[in-house]
Chain A
Amino acid sequence: MFWKQSDRDKSESHRDKRAVNLQNLKEMLSNMEDAEIIERETNNSEKIIFIYIRTLINQERLNEAIVVPLIQSSYASVCDCITNSKVSILSTLKEAETQLLFGSVLVFNQKQNVWCSVPLKNTTGRSIETSETETILYGAKDSFSEQIETNITLIRRRLPKTELKVEKFTIGTYSETTVMLMYIDGLTNPEFVKIARNELTNINFDLFFDSSQIAAFMEDHHHSIFPQFLQTDRPDVCAYSLVMGKITMLIDNTPFALVAPITFFHLLQSPEDYINRWPVASFLRGLRYISFIISITLIPFYVALTTHHYEMIPLQILYVLVESRSKLPFTPFWEAFLMLIILEIIKEASLRMPTKSSQTLGVIGGIVIGQAAVEAGFASKVLIVLVGISTIAAFLCPNYLLTKANTLIQFIFLIFSSFMGIIGIALGMIGILAHLNGLTSLKQPYFAPVSPFYGRDWLDLFIRGPLIWMKRRPEHLRTLQKWRYRSRR
């Protein structure tokens, strides 16, 4: 296996050095149906060869921007007659290959024996649309698309400063995915940029088709269920993160940017927090934290109480519970486990099913499984209510990846609670918190500003403090500019 890889490397390095000529290019493009090689004669009777990949270039512009000006011109050089500022002279076959595959047209003037490349990329893609994963009522509605240039534009429009730096990386031996590393020079901690650069340079894999795959390679803890990079398709979130001192990575062909370093608490914050009035935003944020805890502990707590601690239930509620559970054939654990599994199946099905079938799913999920399960004696009414509350509570979490992690945590807690009651839940909580305490995002503590403790950052943690008080950038990000306002002096 190693010798094969070594052979491939050798052939690639050989190709890097080979000179660009028609023979080599024809060889390279053999069996590529969408590759075109055409010859034209100019008014000066000079022979011009155009080489391009039909599917990657803007064919409508090919004639008007390159072919016609070249044929009709009387200029001496190709570069002079094409009014494209990015025309470059090629010398090696590798350069020619890269240009071709990134949507350039290669132009060869036989008389002058010069190979040029003219970018004519086909930018067909989705237009700028509203974000579907991070919807908000007020605030900017635009979101990223699959076009990396457009995505950079959306951020640049929000941060029109030359300090906003963009570094380009190409990763993936086959996908040749373009990654743009963005940061604000003189504000972002250089350590973050250095780590990100190193990580991006060291990535060695064949194909990347989503930002989460790049995140998986850059993460410090590969086995954790918690995302260590924030994936967002909102340019306003990226711009805000950049100004707070984080780095952002835009990836070609995916609408999701990566933001790092993040903390666990970022995953529970919404862009709308900074639009609402601060008391309302704080209340809603608090509600989100409570819902997060409810979503992971409510069902395990039900199992703990009904299995081990009946004495904790007040008498009136106990009557209802006993009546509801009296005819059930399952223990509380199996009852809850089965209901949660069925719920997960419904949730997964609702994501995969065509939209037109969703009504059927609603009927099956709501009536057949909900009502019929109770009537058939498979689940208690109390549990159905609690499962409903817990599921809705999970949806308050703005980050989809964290919502999925919640589900897994819930199942773990369920097992713990069935064995050890509330002690099991407490043990599970300690385990999760210890795990979060040990996590890092881009080598920075993931559970900051709680642990390690940064008191000043608490103004934007469990509550969203008034913006006029939030004059400092987060302390845990160790930015080069501490203050958010410009000194009048």
Chain B
Amino acid sequence: MAPFSLFNKTSDINGFYAMLIVNRLQILYFILILPMYLVHPYMILGIVIIGIFSQINLILFSKWFTSNFSGQGYSAFVQLFGERKFRFFVLFGLIPMLLKIIVLTLNYVEAIHQFIFPSMNMLWLVLAILLISFYVSSKGMENTIHFVVIAFLFSFWVILCFIPFFFPPFASLSDLYPLIPTSWSMNSWKSLLFLWSSFSGPEYLICISPWFKRGQTIFKYLTYGNLVSVVEFLISFISSLLFFGSNYLSKTNYPIVTMARYLQSPIIERIDMILLSLHMFHFVFIISFLILSFYGGIRIVFKRVHKQTTRIGFLACCAVIFTSIAVVNQWFWEPGIKDNLWLSLEIWSSSVTFLLVPALLLAAIKLKGRSLE
């Protein structure tokens, strides 16, 4: 039987993949529910401002990629933090990773459950999606990174379907006013936090930093990825504002999917079902990527980095992920989006990781540089 290699590197990955991965990580599940959290027209400006903050964070992050450490993978982190401390960090990092997988899978499955299969047991859908994600990830990290091109091709154009909603007969430009907030509340802060967590995800690029080609201007590609995400968020939010209006937007579940219901086609109805299914390409890519990162993290925690990856180890990781999702779904999951504890946890956790990871890496590089001097 051929050796089971998941983390082999046969060729360098160029910045183009970084751009696609950053964009797809940002535009994941939150885009489906983003407008109902933002609600007010002045959040258009919020998207732009948080996009700029995200860009600043990516500047910090790109310092890591231009450093000598990023290409070395595990040994670089050991140099920066020491083996014991690094293993502790990884153990700590596995929690938000697992949380992201659980919450995003269950939320996406809930959307499918609501719009496509109301009568099907959610666990079957979870199992189906996870099985295909396990299959994608079993092809190895390099192939999974390459898969982002397929995921992107099958999902990026979906946002263009919402362009017709910019010109509804019953809405006007004044629906987008005021652009500057007249009052500020706790909910506005929550909206900004939600936006920040929507822009999170690029921090997971550290898991694949050894695959990137050395000496390329990765910052340029990270910027493009972030920019495309800002445009996609803007299109989805403005179109839903024009379609629903501010007042009704906060009362709608999954506004983007609901809007897609109104798309007209002479040969098929309920375009939303097709679009939601196509979103799965994108979704499966991210889950596969996270599964491999999770398995890699487990290998570090259990000091097995220098040993060959095994089918049993990988399957055990898959089993842990499936069991975690099944347990949460069975006993702890609260249906619905609003006031969902798990979703709130995910918002906070992803916001914190996005804020801390680039800063922490940059600080570690600087400190290491000083200590070497």
> Which residues of chain A have a CB within 8 Å of any CB of chain B?
308-309, 311-314, 317, 420-427, 429-431, 433-434, 437-438, 445, 447, 450-453, 455
Contacts and interface: CB of A to CB of B under 8 A. Distances in A.
List the 9 closest pairs (A to B, CB-CB), nearest first.
Answer: A438-B139, A426-B277, A451-B146, A451-B149, A434-B136, A312-B270, A438-B143, A453-B149, A422-B277
Contacts of A422: 116, 273-274, 277
Contacts of B129: 427
Contacts of A447: 146, 150
B64 interface: no
Contact of A430 (B136, B269, B270, B273): B136
Interface of B: 11, 16-17, 112, 116-117, 120, 125, 128-129, 132, 135-136, 139-140, 143, 146-147, 149-150, 153, 266-270, 273-274, 277-278, 280-281, 284
Given A421-B116, A430-B284, A438-B139, 16 more contacts: A314-B266, A420-B120, A423-B117, A423-B277, A426-B281, A427-B132, A430-B132, A430-B136, A430-B280, A431-B132, A434-B135, A434-B136, A437-B150, A445-B146, A447-B146, A447-B150
A249 B146 CA distance: 30
Contacts of B128: 420, 423-424, 427
Contacts of A452: 11, 146, 149
A423 B281 CA distance: 11
A312 B261 CA distance: 10
A43 to B, nearest CB: 68
Contacts of B149: 450-453
B150 A314 contact: no
Given A426-B278, A426-B281, A451 B147 contact: yes
B269 A313 contact: yes
B151 to A, nearest CB: 9
Contacts of A425: 277
Contacts of B150: 433, 437, 447, 450-451
A1 to B, nearest CB: 22
Nearest to A433: B150
B147 A437 contact: yes
A315 to B, nearest CB: 9
A434 B139 contact: yes
Contacts of B116: 309, 421-423
A451 B21 CA distance: 14
Contacts of B11: 452
Contact of A309 (B135, B270, B280): B270
B152 to A, nearest CB: 9
Nearest to A427: B132
Contacts of A317: 267
A431 B112 CA distance: 19
A15 B117 CA distance: 73
A312 B116 CA distance: 10
Contacts of B120: 420
Contacts of B146: 437, 445, 447, 451-453
23 contacts: A312-B273, A314-B267, A314-B268, A420-B117, A421-B116, A421-B117, A423-B116, A423-B117, A426-B281, A430-B132, A430-B284, A433-B147, A434-B139, A434-B147, A437-B147, A437-B150, A438-B140, A451-B146, A451-B149, A452-B149, A453-B17, A453-B146, A453-B149
Contacts of A451: 146-147, 149-150
Nearest to A305: B268
A450 B20 CA distance: 13
A451 B14 CA distance: 12
Contacts of A427: 128-129, 132, 280
A39 B266 CA distance: 87
B132 A434 contact: yes
A308 B270 CA distance: 13
- Which one of A314, A425, A427, A455 has the highest number of Cβ atoms from chain B below 10 Å of its Cβ? A427
A312 B136 contact: no
Given A308-B117, A427-B132, A453 B16 contact: yes
Nearest to B142: A452
Contacts of B139: 434, 437-438
B269 A437 contact: no
Contacts of B278: 426
B281 A430 contact: yes
A445 B146 CA distance: 10
Contacts of A445: 146
B117 A311 contact: no
A447 B143 CA distance: 11
A423 B136 contact: no
A434 B17 CA distance: 17
Contacts of B16: 453, 455
Nearest to B10: A443
B143 A311 contact: no
Contacts of B270: 309, 311-312
A50 B330 CA distance: 88
A433 to B, nearest CB: 5
A455 B269 CA distance: 35
A483 B286 CA distance: 38
Given A311-B270, A431-B135, A437 B143 contact: yes
Looking at A311, A421, A422, A445, which has the most chain B CB atoms within 10 Å of its CB? A422
A212 B150 CA distance: 30
Nearest to A452: B146
A176 B149 CA distance: 45
Nearest to B149: A451
B16 to A, nearest CB: 6
Nearest to B17: A453
A450 B153 contact: yes
A235 B23 CA distance: 45
Contacts of B143: 434, 437-438
Nearest to B270: A312
